[in-house]
Amino acid sequence: MVAPLKKHNISQALVYLALVLGLPACDSSNKTIVTLHHKDPTTLEKLIETSLGGNAEFTITGSDIIFFTNKDKISETLDLLRLLDNGPSLYKLNFKHSNINSNHYSTNPLPEFITLIEGRFSKGDNSITPNKFKVERQGKDSSLLSIAFKQNQNVTIQYVLLPHNQWHKAPTASLPKNTLIKLDLINSPLP
């Protein structure tokens, strides 16, 4: 007695045959795989297409971009991806009172500093201020500080453009009077 041939075995055989026939065409030297660690590759798809200028094809799978060419032919695109795939910068927001010699007392004292991660609202470790702060890079030497605070039962956000490493008078709506703030760039992934 002969057992009947199962259909899925034939389809499996056809898949294996297609793979075997396709293997000589797949040359690993004609493929470059780039893994992004901080950016979603799908958000950079148009930029990659423009950078390649139609000279190479690519596909995106997860956090990998597979270019169907060797890396020598797409070196400018690889440099661009290396530049764009950076993590957020770290900042140190410093506080001090402008009247150092006065007998100043606050019922809500500010911390000496708060460490901030670019693009995220943060209150800071063990911070006693009710405000939340967020910083976003605006240029080589300046960043935009957002201060979220409660005012009349509503959350209000105040924006301050600050040059790096310089003391400035803080906005009085969100921070106590006579407060100075300074924003230091601790770590920047940008060159």
Q: Give residue limits of the domains in the chain.
A: 28-84, 90-187
> 161 pLDDT exceeds 70?
yes
Are 68 and 31 spatial neighbours (Cβ–Cβ below 8 Å)? yes
Q: What confidence score (pLDDT) does residue 96 get?
A: 87
Domain 28-84 has CATH 3.30.1370: yes
Nearest-angstrom CA–CA distance, 186 and 94:
12
- Predicted TM-score (pTM) of the model is 0.57
Are 137 and 88 spatial neighbours (Cβ–Cβ below 8 Å)? no
Q: What confidence score (pLDDT) does residue 23 get?
A: 46
> 187 pLDDT exceeds 80?
no
> 24 pLDDT exceeds 50?
no
> 86 pLDDT exceeds 90?
no
The values of phi and psi at residue 2, to 5°, are -105, 130
How many other CB atoms are there within 10 angstroms of residue 93's CB atom?
22
For range 170-176, the mean pLDDT: 81
Q: What confidence score (pLDDT) does residue 8 get?
A: 52
SS3 (DSSP) at 122: strand
Least confident of 7-11, 63-67, 80-84, 85-89: 7-11
CA dist list (Å): 122 to 93, 131, 175: 11, 9, 15
